[in-house]
Amino acid sequence: MAQRPWLVILTLVLTLALLPVLGAKPRIQAQPGAAEALESAFTRVAELVGPSVVSLKALQGSGKAKQGYGRGRPPYGTGSPRRSPVSQGSGFILDHRGFILTNYHVVAGGNSILVRLSDGRELHGRLMGGDPQYDIALVHIQASNLKPAILGDSDRIKVGQWAIAIGSPFGLENTLTVGVISATGRRGLRQNSPGDFIQTSAAINPGNSGGPLLDIRGRVIGVTSMQIAEGQGISFAIPINKVREIIAPWVE
């Protein structure tokens, strides 16, 4: 049977109409330069906040020095008292007066505190006050040319936002890790702790404790506090707005 002319024409018209649709590229495409922009944002955070992050050791003991601050470091000084580290962690400079924020468990176990700045200076720190339940401590040093961190607003963070941690895991100073805000308002994580914690997938390891948890703009949104040893990417930080309340009597 001969094909009807109108059927041939209709078929041709439909084919031509559908060609753009069938050959169309997906509308959602990665914008040129998006990866580079995100990479630059992480780099800016490292450059902005890195100089504000410190390493701390709580020390105890006496005798001659034989141990340096960290891997490959020179000794504290020949003939100076030996100070065995009982705990160590991270912290960050709060203001130009020399106040440093860290975790209480990082500095509470020794009879002296050694603070190492990002430029290599090692200074004696004095415990000014703190809250064992919230695990927050305020340390003071006498130093010039300090670079304070910028504090953010932890009440405004949302699940899924970028989260960046900087600290000294296992003594590896100024280590940066990246993740997201996994949850907010986590409770009951530590015995007798009344706080709500920020949960993050940014890697937090021993030695990170007391360091800053940051947003993508480099503002401190929390103080890193602990991780679940059995988990991968399950770490917690104390919201910076709560920290502000705790330290107010000593810094105002």
Our count of domains for the chain comes to: 2
Is residue 123 a part of any domain in this protein? Answer: yes
Q: Which domain holds residue 63?
A: 51-140
Residue 219 has pLDDT above 70, yes or no: yes
Average pLDDT of the residues in 111-138: 94
Whether 168 is in a domain gets the answer yes
Do 136 and 157 fall within a single domain? no
Residues 132 and 176 in one domain: no
User: Do residues 85 and 169 both lie within one domain?
Assistant: no
Q: Is the pTM of this model over 0.85?
A: no
Could you tell me which residues come within 8 angstroms of residue 246 by beta carbon, excluding any fewer than 6 positions away? 130, 131, 134, 136
Domain assignment present for 230: yes
Q: Is residue 21 included in any domain, yes or no?
A: no
pLDDT at residue 34, as a whole number: 80
What pLDDT sits at residue 198? 95
- Whether 171 is in a domain gets the answer yes
Residue 97 lies in a domain: yes
What distance in Å separates the CA atoms of residue 71 and residue 238, rounded to the nearest whole number? 29
* Residue 212 within any structural domain of the chain: yes
18 pLDDT more than 70: no
Q: Which residue has the higher pLDDT, 206 or 30?
A: 206
Q: Which residues have a catalytic role annotated? A: 105, 135, 209
Residue 24 lies in a domain: no
d(CA 123, CA 121): 6
One domain for residues 136 and 156: no
| 63 has pLDDT over 50 | no
In whole angstroms, what is the distance from residue 221 CA to residue 212 CA? 7
Please say which residue of 140, 170, 185 terminates a domain: 140
Res. 14: pLDDT tops 70:
no
Residues 70, 135, single domain; the answer is yes
Beta pairing, strands 175-186 & 99-102 = unpaired
Length of the chain: 252
The last residue of one of the domains, among 90, 114, 140, is 140
Of 112, 140, 168, the residue at which a domain comes to its end is 140
- Domain containing residue 169: CATH number: 2.40.10.10
